[in-house]
Amino acid sequence: MQKLALVKGAIKHYDWGGVSFIPSLLQVENPQMKPFAEYWMGVHPGANCVLTMDDGREILLREYISTSPGALLGASVNAAFGQMPYLLKVLDVKDMLSIQVHPSKSQAALDFEAENRKGVPLDAPHRNYRDANHKPELMVALSGFYLLHGFKPEAQLLQTLEAVPELHVFIPVFKQGGYKSLYKMAMEMAQEEVNALLQPLINRIIPLYLQEKLDPSAEDFWAARAAQTFIRPGSIDRGIFSIYFFNIVHLKTGEAIFQDAGVPHAYLEGYNVEIMASSDNVLRGGLTSKHIDTAELLKHTKCEATHPQIIPAGGNKKAKVYPAPVPDFELHSYELKTGDETVLQPVTAELFLLTEGEVELTSGDIRVVLKAGSIAAAAFPGAAVKVLAGAPSLLFRATVPL
């Protein structure tokens, strides 16, 4: 049983993706300038992740693990999950993503089964639940990165509502009914009223945006960009309200943030590495052409103040662990100089992702070199993996908490 192998993930060409960052990582041409939004590595049905074995054979990662799950996952992970419990991704966010929320594990199982009973096809555009799992996620910025993350604390949100004339209508609702009433009003408001409130705001801020007089730390910057990105005649996207309701977070390179079930969020711009539970359950609340189910969104949204907890960059530490309060995954990073060596002991089926430099991985008589074009490998418990940097390198390791 081979304990170390090269991995080739799945490219996702979503329309919000950039055209150069992921092709550069993978050393692939992109003459048609297609959007390369995400690169998936894992066993999720949407990730046809392929192992290249030492004899040249290729096999799907999920199929290889299924040949001997106890040995390749480790007894405890196999007992708890029955398969690799996480999904590892690289993202290039050129245009902002939808306002979204992910369900809890228990609620996802119930709602997935409910849609199954209704006979909703798994690939139906209006399907809300693609699987029975939760989707907590942690991201590490590979560049300056902007995102929306949870509702602003009360005083800050009130200050925003008071500063924007078009949002004054929400002030008494928020003061009397709190976050839930505020968000319910925004999500259930008639489209004609949404248009009437937001049109004068958009008319005011778009000229400033086009003249580059707005800063990305300001809500008006992203609201103007959203208005231009999601133009539909006679229908202004209500997701623009959320830009003013939520925290705008700016992560510097190497900083990270965790997003649990129920925390509303949206990625706005930048590159990142993301790890999450192996799920594709997304409930959307605007800034998208995809299906929006307001009732399901409100059911799962944590309508409460969020104080963003930014996980700092590693500083001078060569090895870093990013804390996440879930059993499904744990992400490590290693900043290595040329000639640096380290030895890792896989505790389950693990993924190694190289975003900078070149490293050689060896386990027994198996040797794998990761560099531009071949950026990922899988390792399995029972054999140490020696890492040798052939250049200044940044290596990520996806695993589970011990």
3-state SS string for 190-212: CHHHHHHHHHHHHHHHHHHHHCC
Do 346 and 380 form a contact (C-beta atoms < 8 A)? Answer: yes
Is there a contact between 291 and 129 (Cβ–Cβ < 8 Å)?
no
What's the length of the chain? 402
In angstroms, rounded to a whole number, what is the distance separating the alpha carbons of residues 62 and 67? 9
Q: At 148, is the secondary structure helix, strand, or coil? A: strand
Tokens 């699987």, located at residue: 131
Rg (CA), the chain: 22
Q: Is 137 annotated as a binding residue?
A: yes
Q: How far apart are CA 95 and CA 229, in angstroms?
A: 8
Query: Containing H/E element for 306?
Result: none
Backbone dihedral region of 234: left (phi > 0), alpha (psi from -120 to 50 degrees) or beta?
left
**Among 177, 180, 185, 179, CA closest to 152:** 179
Q: Is 275 helix (H, G, I), strand (E, B) or coil?
A: strand
Residue 265 labeled ligand binder: yes
134 marked among binding-site residues: no
Which of 267, 268, 300, 298 lies closest to 281 in space, CA to CA?
300
Phi, psi dihedral angles at 372 (to 5 degrees): -55, 125
Which residues are catalytic, by number?
284
Burial 71-94 (b: 16+ CB within 10 A, else e): bbbbeebbeebebbbbbbbbbbbb
DSSP 168: G
Ligand-binding site membership of 168 (annotated): no
CB 261 within 8 A of CB 297: no
Contacts of 118 by beta carbon, 8 Å cutoff, 6+ apart: none
Q: Which segments are annotated as binding site for Zn(2+)?
A: 100, 102, 137, 265
